């Protein structure tokens, strides 16, 4: 019996992915554990392994196909001893017929009897208010919706962006479009968009159509959002809308840390390739200091849920890595028990794989806090957005010489400003102050990190 190879869910939140590449072709034999394809999600490219043994009878989804829903059949596998051609025809046919199945209207139109009805109903789409609403939905809405819902909305001349989706994660489905036709399931309307396009102060966010109307055609290039950019937008919008956040800033003296770093790097030794065994950066010390600070203030090493507070036993620190196509925060697990050189080497390896989109979900999901460092760009200080379900993030500025007062004298010192963003649901003001004070003490006295 043919075996369906399904689009796998490579993380708990994955709903669809891009089939980047087939590593096996039709007619190839595979055994359990063989890598057969590469799937691209919003954050990484991952390999898919075969579960069963057999021969690839038919590939149903071509490589390069985007937004393939989880659990869709992507290929047919003929079991050992099974006729490959029979498996290909038998396994492929149901899939080809499965998609048109819900489109009852298309089936009825294909019958000879309703031809007269089709002729009578034909003027309806023509009578719909031009294609403008449909164009607005496809341009601007960029809402999650099923193919059937998009078709029905287009035929009815309804803007998808105004329909309240009831599917998974707000996805618009056919039933929502049916409700919208009768005036239900529509979002409170376009008055806000009209006000926004008129430039009203305090108006809701402008629609895509309104924004496009502000610019002359041909004066810009349209670059479609990729899945990573969409995910970043969704998660950080959710964080800023639902998470009450406050900020705490301190200045840290890097004098002792800079001296210790130079001494440690000088004593690093070289490997067989003649390269240093490690080269510590200020950011490596920052990660270690944040990890130990969370252990010293365990009440701040938490994640908020509506039912309970999750107090973490280890300090799993996310570190923001800038990519050409977005941002990702690989996590250093149990950073409090690792040496600074281990953290440094692990961070370099994670950053390299992040840039190649080779991270696995468990390597960038979870954690209780993160570090975002823009010091290398000369940024003095800034505030960072917390990445849910974490409860804090430390924004690190550049180390620079400043005039400071010591014992009544003005002297030059290398200082670094850091700002802690805290989720007020999980971390109160005094608790946040304890955490950033513990961090400051560790940074200014790096010997405490090895005690």
> Pairing mode, if any, of strands 326-328 and 321-323?
antiparallel
Sign of torsion, CA 298 301 306 308? negative
User: Are residues 294 and 361 in contact, defined by beta-carbon separation less than 8 angstroms?
Assistant: no
Residues 171, 141 contacting (CB under 8 angstroms): no
* Residues counted in the chain: 451
Burial 119-155 (b: 16+ CB within 10 A, else e): eeeeeeeeeeeeeebbebbbebbebbbbebbbbbbbe
Does the annotation mark 314 as catalytic? Answer: no
Q: What is the DSSP string of 185-232?
A: SBPS-THHHHHHHTT-TTPPPPPHHHHHTTS-TTSS------HHHHHH
3-state secondary structure at position 420: strand
Distance CA 397, CA 379 (A): 5
Integer Cα distance of 251 and 392 in angstroms: 18
- The answer to whether the bond into 389 is cis (omega within 30° of 0) is yes
Count of other CB atoms within 10 angstroms of residue 92: 18
Residue 365 near residue 346, CB atoms below 8 Å: no
User: Is the CB of residue 45 less than 8 Å from the CB of residue 20?
Assistant: yes
User: Which residue of the set 225, 314, 362, 424 is catalytic?
Assistant: 424
Residues 6+ away with beta carbon under 8 Å from 95: 60, 73
Tokens read off for 280: 């510590």
- As annotated, the active-site residues are 424
């Amino acid at each position: 019996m043919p075996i369906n190879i399904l689009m796998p869910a490579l993380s708990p939140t994955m709903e669809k992915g891009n089939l980047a590449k087939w590593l096996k072709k039709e007619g190839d034999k595979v055994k359990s554990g063989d890598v057969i394809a590469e799937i691209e999600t919003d954050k990484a490219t991952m390999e898919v392994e075969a579960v069963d043994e057999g021969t690839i009878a038919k590939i149903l989804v071509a490589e390069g196909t985007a937004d393939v829903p989880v659990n869709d059949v992507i290929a047919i596998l003929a079991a050992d001893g099974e006729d490959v051609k029979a498996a290909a025809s038998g396994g492929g046919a149901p899939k080809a017929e499965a998609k048109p199945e819900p489109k009852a209207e298309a089936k009825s139109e294909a019958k000879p009897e309703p031809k007269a009805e089709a002729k009578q109903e034909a003027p309806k789409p023509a009578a719909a208010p031009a294609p403008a609403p449909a164009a607005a939905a496809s341009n601007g809405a960029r809402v999650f919706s099923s193919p059937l819902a998009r078709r029905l909305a287009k035929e009815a001349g309804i803007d998808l962006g105004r329909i309240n989706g009831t599917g998974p994660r707000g996805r618009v489905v056919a039933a929502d479009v049916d409700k919208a036709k009768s005036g239900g399931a529509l979002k409170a309307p376009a008055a806000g968009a009209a006000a926004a396009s008129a430039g009203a102060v305090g108006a809701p966010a402008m629609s895509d159509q309104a924004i496009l109307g502000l610019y002359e055609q041909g004066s810009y290039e349209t670059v479609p959002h990729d899945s990573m950019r969409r995910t970043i937008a969704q998660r950080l919008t959710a964080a800023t809308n639902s998470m009450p956040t406050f900020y705490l800033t301190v200045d840290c003296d890097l004098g002792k840390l800079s001296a210790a770093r130079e001494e440690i790097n000088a004593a690093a030794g070289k490997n067989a390739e003649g390269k240093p065994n490690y080269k510590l950066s200020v950011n490596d010390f920052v990660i270690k200091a944040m990890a130990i600070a969370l252990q010293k203030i365990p009440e701040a090493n938490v994640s908020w849920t509506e039912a309970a507070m999750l107090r973490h036993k280890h300090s799993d620190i996310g570190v923001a890595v800038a990519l050409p196509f977005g941002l990702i925060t690989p996590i250093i697990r149990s950073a409090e028990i690792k040496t600074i050189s281990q953290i440094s080497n692990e961070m370099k390896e994670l950053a390299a794989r992040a840039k190649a989109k080779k991270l696995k979900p468990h390597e960038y999901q979870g954690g209780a806090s993160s570090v975002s460092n823009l010091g290398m760009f000369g940024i003095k200080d800034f505030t960072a957005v917390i990445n849910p379900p974490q409860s804090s993030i430390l924004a690190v500025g550049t180390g620079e010489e400043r005039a400071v007062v010591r014992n009544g004298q003005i002297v030059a010192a290398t200082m670094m400003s850091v700002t802690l963003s805290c989720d007020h649901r999980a971390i109160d003001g005094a608790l946040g102050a304890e955490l950033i004070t513990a961090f400051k003490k560790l940074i200014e006295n790096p010997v405490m990190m090895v005690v």
